[in-house]
Amino acid sequence: MTQFGVTTDLWTHRHTNDSYITVTVQYIDVSEGWHVQSQTLATRVMNEKHTAENIRCVTKSILEEFGAVQSGNVFVTDNASDMKAAFRDNTWQGCACHNLNLILSHGLHASSAGEECGVPQEVTDLIEACKEVVTLAKRSKLNSQLETTLKQCVVTRWNSVLTTLKSVSVNLADLQITSVSSGEDKTNRKLLRLLADINNSLLLEVIAVLEPFDTATKCLSSDSKPTLHLVAPTKLQLRKNLTPAAADSAIVVQLKQHLTNQLAQYFPVNPLHYTATLLDPRLKTNDELLPPESRQQAITSLRQMVSAVPDDVDCQQATQEADDTPPAKKARLEDCFYASLYTNSSSSTSNEVSSSSDFHVNVSELLL
Kindly state the helix (H) or strand (E) to which residue 77 belongs, with its residue range.
strand 74-77
Instruction: Report pLDDT digits (tens) over 82-96.
Output: 999 999 999 999 999
> With 50 as the cut, is the pLDDT of residue 59 above it?
yes
> Is 104 exposed, middle or buried, given 0-12, 13-18 or 19+ CB atoms closer than 10 A?
buried
Average pLDDT over residues 102-124: 81
- Amino acid found at 133: V
- Cα end-to-end distance, the chain, whole Å: 25
Instruction: Report pLDDT digits (tens) over 251-274.
Output: 999 999 999 999 999 999 999 999
Q: Which strands form 35-45's sheet, in the order they lie side by side?
A: 35-45, 19-29, 5-12, 74-77, 91-94
- Name the band, by pLDDT with cuts 50, 70 and 90, for residue 50: very high
Residue 92 β-bridge partners: 75
**What are the boundaries of each domain within the chain?**
5-94, 95-228+236-265, 270-367
- Name the band, by pLDDT with cuts 50, 70 and 90, for residue 359: very low
- Name the band, by pLDDT with cuts 50, 70 and 90, for residue 345: very low
Instruction: Report pLDDT digits (tens) over 5-49.
Output: 999 999 998 888 999 999 999 998 877 677 889 999 999 999 999
> With 80 as the cut, is the pLDDT of residue 186 above it?
no
Distances (CA, A) of 279 to 53, 116, 198, 246: 36, 39, 46, 36
Radius of gyration of the chain (CA): 24
Instruction: Output the average pLDDT for the chain.
Output: 85
User: CB–CB of 48/42 below 8 Å?
Assistant: no
User: CB–CB of 50/10 below 8 Å?
Assistant: yes
State the Cα–Cα distance between residues 71 and 100, nearest whole angstrom: 29
State the Cα–Cα distance between residues 89 and 82, nearest whole angstrom: 13
